[in-house]
Every structure is written in C-alpha cells, then in structure tokens.
Structure 1
Amino acid sequence: MRILILGATGMVGQGVLRESLLAQDVSEVVALGRSPVGKQAEKLREIVHANLFDLTDIESQLQGFDACFFCLGVSSVGMQETAYAHITYDLTLSVAHTLLRLNPLMTFVYITGAGTDSSERGKSMWARVKGKTENALLSLPFKAVYLFRPGVIQPMHGVQSRTLAYRLLYPLLWPFIAILRPLMPGTILTTENVGWAMLNAARRGDGDKVLESKDIYQLSQG
C-alpha cells in the first residue's frame, strides 16, 4: 500500500507514521504538511507545502495512493467558531476534494474525537464543527470513509503531543493510565492501537464507518 499522512507531526500522526513505516505491506509513506516531521526512513517521503488549501503545484505527487490518514487538527480552546471551522472543516474538505479527484479508489481515514455531534446542533462548538466535517466527508464517494472518535490516548515509543497542556498532563496521569488501560482497552487507547486500526481500515476499505474508542480497539486487533 501507498499511504498519505497529513498531520504526521501531531501525537496521533506520529503514532500512525511509526506503525505505517513498520508495516510490511506498506511500500511508501508520504507525509504532507507545513513542516518536516524530523524523521528519516527508507519508505518515508516528505512533501513540505506551506499552503494546504491550495495543492495545485503538488498534485502530480498526490496520485496513486491507497489511503489517506488525515490526522491534522487544532485545539478549539480560545478559538472563535469561524476560525476553528476554517481549519477543521474548510481545510479538511478542501484536501479531501482534491484527493478524491486524484485518487477515486482511496480510503479516507479521519481523526475526529469522542463526543462529536453528528446532529450539528449541540451546545459544544468543537463537537458541532467536527460533526459537520464528518457528515461532509461521508457524502464524498471515496472507496471508504472511516471516522475515528478516540477519547483518551496513551502515547507510546517516544510519541509526544504538540499541545503543551497535554505534554504537562500526561506525565502526571501516566501511572493511572498504565494501571487502567489493561483493564479498559476499549476505553483507553494507545498510539499503537490507533495506528494499527488505521492500517486495518486501509486494508479493508469496506464502506463508511464511524468508530468510537471501543470500535477502534477492536479494529486494531483485526
């Protein structure tokens, strides 16, 4: 498989990048983003592109992919809905439409979040915007669309969140997570779980699915 990853510098993106590079059935991984991932591997190729809203100049490099793992996102803390929607909805759909035109048989896997509001009418701003994004992606005729809604994720193998609050919080919670995760594998995921599940989604490519944490864990074991 040839895999395209957006958001490979974030916590989830780092995890799925690692697992994709280790997967024997993945021949190439392309990381597309505004900054380098800071990693070198034989199967890894990077495309550093400043304006992800306009991929015209690099379209020739975005063809022939079996799957896209879209892990790009920002925290909604302190953001107005218009600004958050511009990055979360507008950017995601802009990239998705381009990739669909270039790769109509692609499986598109999108990282959203637990609590996403599919009705688009709830009180939580981020959940409404994420719900709107999910619904729009499900309307696109990719080979398959998988919407991942993880909750708590334990970073593994040196993976770190780019969000300062999370980086400060994880060391404090680590002992509790380490104890609870084996007891609640369907509730507390690892970056390994998420990476394996995304790869299994790409291998299957069998329709549109919304996956909560327990579903992600089950798919990771598939």
Structure 2
Amino acid sequence: MNILIFGATGMVGQGVLRECLLAPDVERVVAVGRNATGQQHPKLQDVVVKDMYDYSAIEPQLQGFDACFFCLGVSSVGMKEDDYRRVTYDLTMAAATVLARLNPGMTFTYVTGAGTDSSERGGSMWAQVKGATENALRRLPFKAAYMFRPGVIQPLHGARSKTPLYHGIYVVIAPLLSLAYRLWPDKVTTTEQIGLAMLAVARSGAPKVVLDPADINALR
C-alpha cells in the first residue's frame, strides 16, 4: 500500500507513522505537513506545505495513494468558533477535496474525537464543528471514509504531544493510562492501536464508519 499521513509530527500521527513504517505491506509513506518529520526511513518521504489550504502546487505528489490517515487537529480551548472551524473544517476539507479528486479509490481515515456531534446541533461548539467535518467527509467520493473517535489516548513508543503542558500531564499519568487501557478498552486506546486500526481499515474496511475506542481496539 501507498499511504499519505497528515499530521505525522503530532502525538497520534507519530504513532500512526511508526506502524506504517513497520507494516510489511506498506511500500511507501508520504508525510504531509508544515514541518518535516525529522525521520529517515527508506519508505518515508516528507512533503512540506506551508499553506495547508492550497495544494495546487503539489498535486502530482498526492496521486497514487491507497489510503490517507488524517491526524491533524487542535484543541478548541480558548478559540472562537470561526477560528476553530477554519483550522478544523476548512483545513481538513481543503486537503480531502483534492485527494478525493486525485485518488477516487482511496480510503480516508479522519481522527476526530469522542463526543463529536453528528447532528451538528449539540451544545458544544467543537463537537458541532467536528460533526460537520465528519459529515462533509462522508459525502466525498472516496472508496471509503472512516471517522476515528478515540477517547483517552495512551502515547507509546516515544510518541509525545507537541504541547509541553499536555506532554507533562501524559508523563505524570502514564502508569494510570496503562492500567486504564487494560480495564476500560471501551474508553481508552493507544497511539499504537490507532495506527494498527487505520491500517486494518485501509486493507479490508470495518463494520462501522464511525469508530469509537472499543471499535478501534478491536481492529488489527
């Protein structure tokens, strides 16, 4: 398989990239982002894009892919709705619309969040925006589109948040997360498992389009 990853430098994206590079059936991985991953691997190519809303200059580099794992995302804390919508809905759809045109046989997997509101009418601003993004992605002419809604995520194998505060919290609660993953697999997953699950849906699909932590943890 040939795989595109958006957000490979974030915590989830780091875990997904690791599993892609380890997978024997993945021949090529292209990481698209504002910054290079900093990793060297025979399978890996970085494509640095300064304007994540405009892919016209690199369209030839975005063709010929079997799957896209879209791991970009920001916290809505302290953000106004218009700003959050631009860096969530607008940014995601800018990439996905181009990819659907260039790769109609592609499986697109989007990392959203537990509590996302598919009705787009709930009380939480971020949940409405995420729900609108999910719904728009499902309308695009991909071979398939899956929405991953992880709850609590345990970072493994060196994956770390780029936000210093969040990274510090993860370090402190790491032993608790490990225990929680074993006790409550319906609420907690890991960066490793998210990567494995994304590869699983790229290979053979999944019974559901919207996947919660229990669904994610069941895929291999």
SS in 2 for 1:182: helix
More moved, 182-191 vs 88-97: 182-191
Q: What residue is the counterpart of 1:204 in the other structure?
A: 204
Q: Which one-letter code corresponds to 2:57 in the other structure?
A: D
Q: What residue is the counterpart of 2:111 in the other structure?
A: 111
Q: What residue is the counterpart of 2:30 in the other structure?
A: 30
Deviation, structure 1 residue 207: 8.1
Alpha-carbon contact 1:154-1:191 (below 8 Å) kept? yes
Q: What residue is the counterpart of 1:13 in the other structure?
A: 13
Moved over 3 A (4+): 205-208
SS in 1 for 2:57: helix
Deviation, structure 1 residue 8: 0.3
Q: How many residue pairs were aligned?
A: 220
Q: Which one-letter code corresponds to 2:70 in the other structure?
A: F
Deviation, structure 1 residue 206: 6.2
* 1:189/1:52 CA distance change after superposition, 3 Å: same
Q: Which one-letter code corresponds to 2:170 in the other structure?
A: Y
Q: What residue is the counterpart of 1:129 in the other structure?
A: 129
Q: Which one-letter code corresponds to 2:21 in the other structure?
A: L
Q: What residue is the counterpart of 1:142 in the other structure?
A: 142
Q: What residue is the counterpart of 1:180 in the other structure?
A: 180
Q: What residue is the counterpart of 1:213 in the other structure?
A: 213
More moved, 200-209 vs 100-109: 200-209
Q: What residue is the counterpart of 1:155 in the other structure?
A: 155
- Show CA shifts across 1:6-53 (max 9, x none): 000001100000000000000000000000111110100010110111
* 1:106/1:207 CA distance change after superposition, 3 Å: farther
Alpha-carbon contact 1:31-1:44 (below 8 Å) kept? yes
Alignment of 1:60-79 (within 5 A): 60-79=60-79
SS in 1 for 2:203: helix
Distance in 2 separating the partners of 1:216 and 1:201: 10
Distance in 2 separating the partners of 1:110 and 1:150: 11
* 1:195/1:3 CA distance change after superposition, 3 Å: same
Deviation, structure 1 residue 208: 6.6
Distance in 2 separating the partners of 1:25 and 1:4: 14
Distance in 2 separating the partners of 1:205 and 1:178: 28
Structure 1: segments with no counterpart, 5+ residues: none
- Show CA shifts across 1:78-109 (max 9, x none): 11000000010011111111001100100000
Distance in 1 separating the partners of 2:103 and 2:49: 19
Distance in 2 separating the partners of 1:72 and 1:179: 27
SS in 2 for 1:116: coil
Structure 2: segments with no counterpart, 5+ residues: none
Q: Which one-letter code corresponds to 1:63 in the other structure?
A: Q
Deviation, structure 1 residue 123: 1.2
Deviation, structure 1 residue 139: 0.9
CA RMSD of aligned residues (A): 1.2
SS in 1 for 2:182: coil
